[in-house]
Chain A
């Protein structure tokens, strides 16, 4: 398999280099976006970042180049290709790119980087982290409000700390509404293939529904489609993640836990243009609506005004500090 991946990386590089040759050289801002292997159409986190980039291209008149890393070994070379071409900002999506960003930030000290989902702690990197546990807390509460069986499910993609963070927040939110609720937990795998294994996701979701769960929150990239299929087949509910996925199976997706990568990418490019982009760690939580739950025409019938009122109370509680949401990263550090 590694042979295959190396070759993919090579093809990726060739594609990137040829596309860079076509870049005009006048004084427009040049921004390079390195997505991870799920790609720009994962209907999930990469999609949101790509949307932000497209918006910036249209509204701010920048030169935007997007590449997809075929596998984790190519992050470094893809970022370097942008740095060598003197791009004004390189945006790296996903915690998997942390090491590559650290290396390249040291190698190109004058190059500006934006890393999303992890903290690089370098003087030329702006790191952005989302408080996923806060958004997950809200959708967990909503899941508990809608569960008739007193059982709900969680399905993670690859078993990594980031997804554990979703899980902990979700459990805490559900238990706030119903302390006796039972939460079934599954992970799809321990390799990157867990993000694109829809058949297995569907099978796991059917198993959870069979065991009595009636709402499942899925944080598994492309694999989430399998859970939505199962929800439709069993006439149960699922909760989407990252982008607004409510429209994929209308009536079966209770809400989506939004992670506004689009806002962060757009705002950062805007700051860059104004010369105000500063390095350091920035956190986006429910306060700034960097993470949120979705309400739109597709799920308006599912989420009642009372539900929303209750959720807004919880949001206020989190912001004021009255409710403390467990954070997997913090817990891991203490261990």
Chain B
């Protein structure tokens, strides 16, 4: 294979798959940490939206995507604290609280957008020179590495996992379950916020209303598909990324006969693959035992 061929494959297959998967991987790892601590996390979508919004706003303000990216994560943490307050302090139902979080994010972003940019649809465009080139891909790789190490080989990871698997055992060892769950929620807020930042600063040039487009839920599906473990979760995200990329390339392409494959058939690919993989290849996916239980 000569160099130009290599470059062609890189630019038409490898990079698109990585780009499409990056927000999913950030959000899914966040969701995994949170669920492992025992809290059901369907609020990723909301954290992503505030992350995307505040990431875009601060990148515009400081003309620095790295700072904007960090602020996207912090915005996610802020919203996750609100969610944590609901479920940990006031013992609200986790599904309801996360739904409220998602709705809040859906409403609050156009609200501020209207105040600052006089538009409920999108923020002002980020100039090309303050957009990311490839940095989020490296940061994503770093996050995967750190998550895996912490998850499997650290005291912190072990304790957080026990908060979700067997909270009483952790309690009897003298470790606060509540603390671990707060940490799980904040990690999910931070990483989902970064996922949002990826969408608005890296994959587009502004915040668009509801731009997460269900990616938070796909990320959650990846967590389940990946059996709540870091590397399989990342692989599940890549699988979704690959199907998305395949879907993009297959649209309007004639595979056999004279008519192109109908677009609807191609667009069910990610869902079809999820079902097939879940039902056949990976076997049953077990949730953490203490997930969603409040004692």
A residues bordering B, Cβ < 8 Å? 1, 3-4, 7-8, 11, 38-43, 47, 68, 159, 184-187, 189-190, 193, 196-200, 202-204, 206-207, 210, 222-223, 225-226, 229, 232-233, 248-249
Chain A residues near B211 (CB-CB < 8 A) = 196-199
Residue pairs across A and B with Cβ atoms less than 8 A apart, 24 shown, are: A1-B214, A4-B99, A40-B120, A40-B121, A41-B119, A43-B121, A184-B252, A186-B252, A190-B264, A196-B210, A196-B211, A196-B213, A198-B211, A200-B213, A203-B248, A207-B249, A222-B121, A222-B209, A223-B208, A225-B205, A225-B206, A225-B208, A226-B204, A233-B128
Sorting the interface of chain B by its residue count into under 10, 10 to 19, 20 to 34 or 35 or more gives: 35 or more
Main secondary structure, interface of A, reads helix
The 3 closest A-B pairs by CB, nearest first: A41-B121, A199-B203, A198-B204
A198-B128 CB under 8 A given contacts A7-B103, A8-B106, A203-B19: no
Name B102's contact: one of A4, A185, A225 (CB within 8 Å): A4
Given contacts A8-B103, A190-B267, 13 further A-B contacts (CB under 8 A): A4-B102, A38-B121, A41-B119, A47-B121, A184-B252, A185-B252, A186-B248, A196-B209, A197-B213, A199-B211, A200-B20, A210-B11, A232-B128
Whether B233 is near chain A, meaning CB under 8 Å from some CB there, is no
Question: Are A39 and B110 within 8 A (Cβ)?
Answer: yes
Q: How far is the CB of B245 from chain A (nearest CB, A)?
A: 8
Q: A196-B210, A210-B11 are in contact. Are A187 and B121 (CB under 8 A)?
A: no
Set of chain B residues within 8 Å of A11, measured between Cβ atoms: 103, 107
For B251, the chain A residues whose CB sits under 8 A away are 185-187, 204
- A43 x B122 contact (CB < 8 A): yes
Cβ contacts under 8 Å, A210 to chain B: 11-12
Residues of A within 8 A of B128 (CB): 232-233
Determine if B86 is an interface residue (Cβ-Cβ < 8 Å): no
Q: Which residues of A contact B169 (CB under 8 A)?
A: none
A4:B16 contact, CB within 8 angstroms: no
Q: Is B141 an interface residue (CB 8 A)?
A: no
Interface of B is mostly: helix
Whether B209 contacts A207 by the Cβ 8 Å rule is no
Do B16 and A203 touch (CB < 8 A)?
A: yes
- Given A196-B213, A222-B208, A229-B204, answer yes or no on A159-B121 (Cβ-Cβ < 8 Å): no
Answer whether residue B272 sits at the interface, using C-beta atoms and an 8 A cutoff. no
Kindly list chain A residues whose C-beta atoms are within 8 Å of the C-beta of B277: none
C-alpha gap A11/B217 in the complex (Å): 23
Residue of A nearest to B210 (CB): A196
A7:B99 contact, CB within 8 angstroms: yes
* B239-262 contact mask (Cβ, 8 Å, vs A): 1 or 0: 000001100110110000000000
- Taking CB atoms, residues of chain B closer than 8 Å to A8 are 103, 106
Contact residues in A for B122 (Cβ distance below 8 Å): 41, 43, 222, 225
Specify which chain B residues have a CB less than 8 angstroms from the CB of A248 in the assembled complex: 125
User: Which chain B positions have C-beta within 8 A of A207?
Assistant: 12, 16, 248-249
Chain A hits for B248, CB < 8 A:
186, 200, 203-204, 207
Q: Which residues of A contact B213 (CB under 8 A)?
A: 193, 196-197, 200
Q: Which of A4, A184, A199 contacts B199 (CB 8 A)?
A: A199
Residues of B within 8 A of A222 (CB): 121-122, 208-209
Q: Check if B263 is an interface residue, CB within 8 A of chain A.
A: yes
The distance from the CB of A236 to the nearest CB of chain B, in whole angstroms, is 14
Residues of A within 8 Å of B263, CB to CB, are 159, 187, 190
In the bound complex, residues from chain A placing their C-beta under 8 Å from that of B210 are 193, 196
Q: Are B120 and A229 in contact (CB under 8 A)?
A: no
For residues 121 through 155 of chain B, which have their beta carbon under 8 Å from a beta carbon of chain A?
A: 121-122, 125, 128
Q: Smallest CB–CB gap between A251 and chain B, Å? A: 12
Taken together as a complex, chains A and B put the C-alpha atoms of A199 and B16 apart, in Å, by 11
CB pair A196 B106 closer than 8 Å: no
Hey, which chain A residues are within 8 Å of B110, CB to CB? 39
Query: Cβ of A196 and Cβ of B208 under 8 Å apart?
Result: yes
The complex places the Cα of A4 from the Cα of B107 at a distance, in Å, of 12
Given known A4-B103, A203-B16, contact A39–B209 (CB-CB < 8 A) = yes
The answer for the CA separation of A204 and B267 in the assembled complex, in Å, is 13
Residues of A within 8 Å of B217, CB to CB, are 1
Scan residues 204-248 of chain B and give those whose CB is less than 8 A from a CB of chain A: 204-206, 208-211, 213-214, 217, 244-245, 248
Set of chain B residues within 8 Å of A203, measured between Cβ atoms: 16, 19-20, 203, 244-245, 248
Q: Which residues of A contact B19 (CB under 8 A)?
A: 203
Q: Which of A4, A185, A202, A249 contacts B204 (CB 8 A)?
A: A202
Give bound CA distance, A47 to B122, whole Å. Answer: 12
- With A and B bound together, what is the CA distance between A232 and B128 in angstroms? 9
A229 and B205 contacting across the interface, CB-CB below 8 Å: yes
A206 & B107 in contact (Cβ 8 Å cutoff): no
